[in-house]
């Protein structure tokens, strides 16, 4: 029988509705799992499980909240010592929405420094010698380890999709702005997107619908037909081999999968991504740079100073490149239901110093499209692999539906 801590949110809610499980039972099971595994996984910066939950569609489930999102009853320290002990007076909008829907917070989860690349102590639940990915490290690892049902994360490059793939869970980056950024330590105005991680695609749809009131579909029900998928960005030999095996599994289930090369406007936007991200982040960290630069990690400080020295026109041009690619995307994939692409270059890298490369995620972040990472098995080292499915902005329910279709085609 599946351990209570390993149930999906939808399974947990079904048992509660049937009277075979209680909120107290869920809380106890999750607390026991945390006691067993947290000393190695190290997903949390603060563990403070809610003693009760209000009514709503998520009542009986628990969240882990990435520590760049404010919480009224737990510290919010953003992965940097400048903010040690900082206690906001209010919850971030997404946290308040989750609570209003009946969700309970288990604790604050580890983020890389200001959701950039300097890592925290979190390890991969499948092998602690490997990174869980970042920057939403603790949220992904906590879902995979059975510490909570939903991890709230943020993405500027690949900070939801990549750690979800590395940890073998589902990661969903909704359309830009679907979850309000009030109460978030925003780094990049053009890029930062709040999303969720869970143990199933249906759970992601449940959480998003409960928090936003939007229609995210029923991805665990059968799709109306096999999809027509555009295969994009398999540009390394190992990634190409893995993605082609996914494509073959989809073709065996009736999908049409066609290799697609995107026009040059998308490469131009990708080239602008690091400059827009870093220049906007340098603006966001104006206070920290002015008052305590010595408390920034050397790598972050170097990037921020370089970004501040760049001409403003570079940021203006970069944003224009983003807009041009956004305007071109729907036309570029016309006739396809979705894009199929890797969620990460490979399995999680060895060591905790490097959270992995967002090369397969950054484009979809700057395009503001929904994207979902789904588990597709394990690689040569026995660590999880993920495939990513992308649809045009606003087609979030379709993104989740086709993501679940691909997952079932590969995993059975």
In angstroms, rounded to a whole number, what is the distance separating the alpha carbons of residues 175 and 193?
A: 8
Catalytic residue among 76, 136, 137, 159: 159
- How many whole angstroms separate alpha carbon 72 and alpha carbon 102? 16
Arithmetic mean of pLDDT, 232-239: 76
| Terminal Cα distance for the chain, rounded | 20
Q: Is the pLDDT of residue 239 over 90?
A: no
User: Taking Cα atoms as reference points, which of 148, 386, 125 lies closest to residue 246?
Assistant: 386
> How many C-alpha atoms does 410 have within 13 Å on its Cβ side?
21
* Cα–Cα distances in angstroms (integers) from residue 58 to residues 98, 150, 216, 228, in the given order: 8, 10, 15, 34
Contact criterion met (CB below 8 Å) for 103 and 72: no
Write down the pLDDT at residue 248: 97
pTM score over 0.85: yes
Q: Across residues 326-355, what is the average pLDDT? A: 97
For the record, the structure tokens of 239 come out as 């990634």
Q: Does the pLDDT of residue 221 top 90, yes or no?
A: yes
Looking at every residue in the chain, the average pLDDT score rounds to 97
Reported confidence tier of residue 263, pLDDT bands at 50, 70, 90? very high
Tokens 């602008």 appear where? 272
Instruction: Say what the pLDDT of residue 410 is.
Output: 98
- Alpha-helical (H) ranges within 19-152 are 23-41, 93-100, 137-145
Other CB atoms within 10 A of residue 383 CB = 20
| Tokens at 199, concatenated | 């143990």
The CATH classification of domain 4-212, taken from the options 3.90.1300.10, 3.10.20.340, 3.40.50.300, 3.40.190.10: 3.90.1300.10
Taking only Cα atoms into account, the Rg of the chain, rounded to an integer number of angstroms, comes to 20
pLDDT at 234: 66
Q: Which residues pair with 372 in a beta bridge?
A: 172, 389
Q: Which one, of 403, 400, 408, lies nearest residue 388 by Cα?
A: 403
Number of H helices, E strands in the chain: 13, 11
Range 30-43 average pLDDT: 98
* Predicted confidence (pLDDT) per residue in 177-218, tens digit: 999 999 999 999 999 999 999 999 999 999 999 999 999 999
Q: Given 66, 108, 173, 185, which residue is catalytic?
A: 66
Cα separation, 146 vs 360, in Å, equals 27
So what's the pLDDT on residue 1? 73
Model confidence at 140: pLDDT above 70: yes
In percent, the amount of the chain with pLDDT more than 70 equals: 100
272-324 pLDDT, tens digit each: 999 999 999 999 999 999 999 999 999 999 999 999 999 999 999 999 999 99
C-alpha 56: how far from its chain's center?
A: 24
| Side-chain half-sphere exposure of 144, counting CA atoms within 13 A | 31
Q: What is the pLDDT of residue 381?
A: 95
Other residues' Cβ atoms within 10 Å of the Cβ of residue 260:
17
Q: Is 159 a catalytic residue?
A: yes
Q: Which residues contact 8 (CB under 8 A, 6 or more apart)?
A: 149, 198, 199, 200, 202, 203
Q: Please tell me the distance from the alpha carbon of residue 152 to that of residue 171, in angstroms, as a whole number.
A: 10
Asked if 191 and 323 count as a contact pair (C-beta separation under 8 A), the reply is no
Q: Where along the chain do its domains lie?
A: 4-212
106 close to 49: Cβ distance less than 8 angstroms: yes
**Rounded Cα–Cα distance for residues 364 and 173 (Å):** 9
User: What are the backbone dihedrals phi and psi of residue 189, each rounded to the nearest 5 degrees, phi first?
Assistant: -60, -35
Report the C-alpha gap between 289 and 129 in whole angstroms: 33
> How far apart, in whole angstroms, are the C-alpha atoms of residue 47 and residue 107?
4
Q: Is 135 a catalytic residue?
A: yes
Distance CA 67, CA 40 (A): 19
373 is catalytic: no
Dihedral angle of Cα 150, 151, 156, 159, to the nearest 10 degrees: -110
pLDDT at 233: 73
In the set 135, 139, 297, 373, the catalytic residue is: 135
pLDDT, position 236: 73
Please determine, for residue 235, whether its predicted confidence score (pLDDT) is greater than 90.
no
In this predicted model, what pLDDT tens digit does every residue of 45-88 receive, in sequence order?
999 999 999 999 999 999 999 999 999 999 999 999 999 999 99
Residues 10 and 203 sit within 8 Å (Cβ to Cβ): yes
Peptide bond into 307 cis (omega under 30): no
């Amino acid at each position: 029988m599946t351990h209570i801590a390993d149930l999906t949110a939808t399974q947990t809610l079904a048992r509660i509705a049937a009277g075979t499980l209680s909120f107290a039972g869920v809380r106890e099971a999750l607390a026991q799992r945390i006691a067993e595994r947290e000393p190695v996984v190290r997903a949390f910066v603060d563990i403070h499980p809610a003693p009760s939950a209000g009514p709503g569609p998520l009542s009986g489930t628990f969240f882990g909240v990435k520590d760049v999102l404010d919480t009224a009853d737990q510290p919010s320290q953003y992965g940097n010592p400048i903010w040690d002990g900082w206690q906001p007076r209010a919850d971030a909008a997404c946290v308040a929405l989750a609570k209003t829907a009946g969700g309970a917070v288990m604790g604050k989860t580890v983020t890389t420094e200001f959701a950039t690349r300097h890592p925290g102590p979190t390890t991969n639940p499948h092998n602690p010698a490997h990174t869980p990915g970042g920057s939403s490290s603790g949220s992904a690892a906590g879902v995979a380890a059975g510490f909570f049902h939903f991890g709230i994360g943020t993405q500027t490059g690949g900070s939801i999709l990549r750690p979800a793939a590395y940890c073998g869970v589902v990661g969903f980056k909704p359309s830009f702005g679907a979850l309000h950024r009030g109460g978030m330590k925003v780094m990049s105005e053009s890029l930062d997107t709040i999303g969720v991680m869970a143990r199933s695609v249906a759970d992601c749809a449940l959480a998003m619908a409960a928090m936003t009131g939007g229609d995210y579909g029923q991805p665990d029900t059968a799709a109306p037909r096999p999809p027509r998928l555009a295969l994009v960005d398999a540009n390394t030999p190992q990634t190409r081999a893995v993605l082609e095996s996914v494509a073959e599994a989809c073709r065996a289930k009736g999908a049409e999968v066609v290799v697609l090369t995107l026009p040059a406007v998308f490469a131009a936007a990708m080239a602008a991504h690091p400059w827009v991200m870093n220049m906007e982040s340098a603006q966001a960290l104006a206070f920290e740079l002015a008052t305590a630069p010595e408390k920034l990690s050397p790598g972050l400080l170097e990037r921020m100073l370089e970004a501040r020295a760049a001409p403003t026109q570079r940021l203006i041009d970069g944003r224009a490149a983003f807009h041009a690619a956004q305007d071109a995307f729907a036309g570029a994939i016309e006739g396809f239901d979705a894009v199929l692409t890797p969620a990460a270059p490979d399995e999680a890298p060895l060591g905790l110093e490097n959270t992995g490369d967002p090369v397969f995620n950054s484009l979809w972040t700057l395009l503001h499209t929904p994207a979902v990472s789904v588990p597709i098995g394990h690689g040569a080292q026995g660590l999880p692999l993920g495939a990513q499915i992308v649809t045009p902005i606003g087609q979030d329910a379709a993104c989740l539906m086709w993501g679940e279709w691909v997952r079932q085609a590969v995993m059975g």
